[in-house]
Chains A and B, each alone.
Chain A
């Protein structure tokens, strides 16, 4: 079909052929501008759903957002009858892909629902229906449709726990769910005929997939060995031209943004501070100097007022430890600290070393609040941060130095084994 013919067919609610046995039956949503609260899209999105016809039955892969169900059913009815449907595969349970699922299950009651085993926990909460019958699947499981078959790849956390990919081996088509997708609405539908969507592809990765970088790498290990003619994602253009280039791009994107510049055996400790009268700055310098004395520690010191939050997030993705210094103003840490912390939701900080410190005027809540947020981001916070009232005394500067040394030793795994009583923990955190 020519790009113009595809456009017309979509406008007429007809299915679009990807191959003689595989059709797109999704919907276009050109007007949406904000998706999932956190994502912007300059020209809408698409909800891609597919039909696969085998000699012994039909499978549906994903559905659409509920308000677009009429488009979905019209296209489906043009290419298959409901009583032919043997399998409904949902690669991702989010409502933009399951909006038409309850109705589809009513229209094709004989069809078996296949979801990833991790989707089981979410299905009931999402569809609010009791006694749902389904088959949970894992990597290696397959559905036989006669001369076509669907194989499952367990690719969790891309970007929900339930996500999976489905592979049509006979045609080398990967139904990838949100992986390799983007919010880009173009009625020409295919990557070799639609407009330039590179920005949308990268933006989608950065906001949806990047927090799950480790899971992206695990998924790539499953996907990269597969011969691929087409990648059919759940949003955005269908990738039939050079599909493996997009797999390669994911591999590049999942690598660290910044080239690792430290030596084997070294660990990096990034210290960020913000200071109104120079007191928190003096504490930062003392912590920095002392941490740097510990062998193997590569400490860096940054004034948060002098940098862009996004660049710092790139640095932190590769760092081993993060220390934040903030004064307390109106009973809170200051906004640049919270901005930096909120930017970290797009990167994986789990298990990194975290710590906080700061000078304050009279109540000094900031340090404990930052520590709590660091724990919330799944960093480990083994050392209680140093708080100093107004201008640090020489003794308090020495306390900062001890804190810096302890952080360095903790980072290098050199702190001596300790035995403590729980009552000490409770009193020190009171």
Chain B
């Protein structure tokens, strides 16, 4: 299975993960500062900034795009509960 790395820039931890992993599956376990509310892509609590490897994440769905817009999320922001790793290197931090 393809491997990827996700770096949580706020705490300096890099995790090697299989492709398909969602950020939510690892960020809490490593104690990164990204926080969650509904955990199902609706509330916008877990908006994070992708500081590296934007293209190494799945594209935002239409619904995620709407939540990001409704919350005035900036460029290169994603919902950590929705974004899935495709491969390569990614770095994220709390928005």
A: which residues have CB within 8 A of B?
A: 117-118, 120-121, 350-351, 375, 378, 380-383, 410, 415-422, 425-426, 429
Contacts and interface: CB of A to CB of B under 8 A. Distances in A.
A429 B29 contact: yes
B33 interface: yes
A351 B94 contact: yes
A344 B66 CA distance: 31
B26 A351 contact: no
Contact of B70 (A121, A375, A381, A429): A121
Interface string B15-50: 111100100011011111101100000000100000
User: Which interface residue of A418, A421, A422 has the most chain B CB atoms within 10 A?
Assistant: A422
How many B residues touch the partner, as a band? 20 to 34
A350 B33 CA distance: 8
B21 A418 contact: no
Given A351-B94, A425-B29, A419 B14 contact: yes
Contacts of B17: 422
Contacts of A415: 11-12
A350 B30 contact: no
Contacts of B21: 422
Contacts, number: 64
A421 B16 contact: yes
Contacts of A422: 15-18, 21, 25-26
A396 B17 CA distance: 32
5 contacts: A380-B35, A381-B31, A382-B32, A417-B14, A422-B21
Interface in B62-95: 70-71, 94
- Chain A facing B: main interface SS: mixed
B22 to A, nearest CB: 11
A381 B28 contact: yes
B31 A383 contact: yes
B51 interface: no
Contacts of A378: 35-36, 45
Nearest to A376: B36
A426 B14 CA distance: 15
A382 B70 contact: no
A418 B26 contact: no
Contacts of A382: 11, 13, 30-32
A420 B29 CA distance: 11
A107 B30 CA distance: 56
Given A117-B70, A422-B18, A422-B21, A375 B12 contact: no
Given A419-B5, A422-B18, A425-B29, 11 more contacts: A351-B33, A378-B36, A378-B45, A380-B33, A380-B35, A381-B28, A418-B14, A420-B13, A422-B21, A422-B25, A425-B15
A144 to B, nearest CB: 26
Contact of A380 (B25, B26, B31, B45): B31
Contacts of B25: 422
A425 B13 CA distance: 12
Nearest to A383: B31
Contact of A420 (B16, B28, B36): B16
A418 B13 contact: yes
B35 A420 contact: no
A344 to B, nearest CB: 14
Nearest to B32: A380
A419 B8 CA distance: 10
B39 to A, nearest CB: 11
B29 to A, nearest CB: 4
A120 B31 contact: no
B12 A418 contact: yes
Contacts of A410: 11, 31
A121 B35 CA distance: 21
Contacts of B29: 425-426, 429
A380 B18 CA distance: 23
A117 B71 CA distance: 9
Contacts of B16: 419-422
Lowest 8 CB-CB distances: which A-B pairs, in order? A382-B31, A417-B12, A378-B35, A425-B29, A419-B14, A422-B17, A380-B31, A421-B16
A429 B31 CA distance: 12
Nearest to B42: A121
Contacts of A425: 15, 26, 29-30
Contacts of A120: 70
